[in-house]
Amino acid sequence: MNAELGRAHATLCRGADFLPSWLRGLPEPKLGHARRSRVIGNGLRELDRFLSVLLDAASAERGLATDTAQYNTANKLNDLGPGLGLVRGDDARLRALGRSRSCLFYCEGVVRRGDTRQAPTMTAGWPAGGTGALLVVPIGDQLDVLAADLDSVRSFYLRLADEIVDGLAQA
């Protein structure tokens, strides 16, 4: 593993570990709901960017061409995943995390848009109540983020980071 790939992997792992642990110490009454939503949304945005940087570093390590104009991490994962030995369909969850991130950051956690233009619901980027299915929230409802939700997001990003690096090591 080259130094750039190692740094990108370590940064994503540290960010994934940091977000849920930091927010456990800041309950909603201390921050206020709007600010807490924005902070969580920003944290999710940073994790997405860290994953994008890791994908770029892994692609460079493998000698794959990358589209420098591609800023959507879910699309980047979809494009580069097979070349990196990834076989999962994680791009759908990354898209759901993107919608959740925007909802939290720009709308104070109030769901304003669905998964598609006419959809009455938005899929969040984490499972509902510990089940395998992702949480679905109706438009107009509040997207509440629990510690368990952030733990699920943490596990998702850590798994992706490890699969990317492990896939390179096995090639």
| pLDDT given at position 130 | 67
Report if residue 122 sits inside a domain: no
Report if residue 133 sits inside a domain: no
Nearest to 38 by CA among 55, 56, 54, 23: 23
| Residue 64 predicted with pLDDT over 90 | no
Indicate the helix (H) or strand (E) that contains 125: strand 121-127
Q: State which residues form the domain around 166.
A: 3-108+144-170
Report if residue 126 sits inside a domain: no
| Residue 81 predicted with pLDDT over 90 | no
Which CATH number do you get for residue 40? 1.20.120
Report if residue 124 sits inside a domain: no
Of 44 and 32, which is predicted with more confidence?
Answer: 44
Report if residue 155 sits inside a domain: yes
Report if residue 138 sits inside a domain: no
How many structural domains comprise the chain? 1
Report if residue 131 sits inside a domain: no
Q: Give the pairing type, strands 121-127 and 134-138.
A: antiparallel
Q: Region 7-14: what's the mean pLDDT?
A: 97
Report if residue 24 sits inside a domain: yes
In angstroms, the CA 94 to CA 79 distance is 13
In angstroms, the CA 171 to CA 167 distance is 6
Nearest to 9 by CA among 105, 88, 84: 84
Residue 158 neighbours by CB under 8 Å, 6+ apart = 13, 16, 17
| pLDDT given at position 12 | 97
Check: pTM over 0.85? Answer yes or no. yes
Candidate from 23-27, 136-140, 149-153 with smallest mean pLDDT = 23-27
Question: In the Cβ-directed half-sphere of 26, how many Cα atoms lie within 13 Å?
Answer: 15
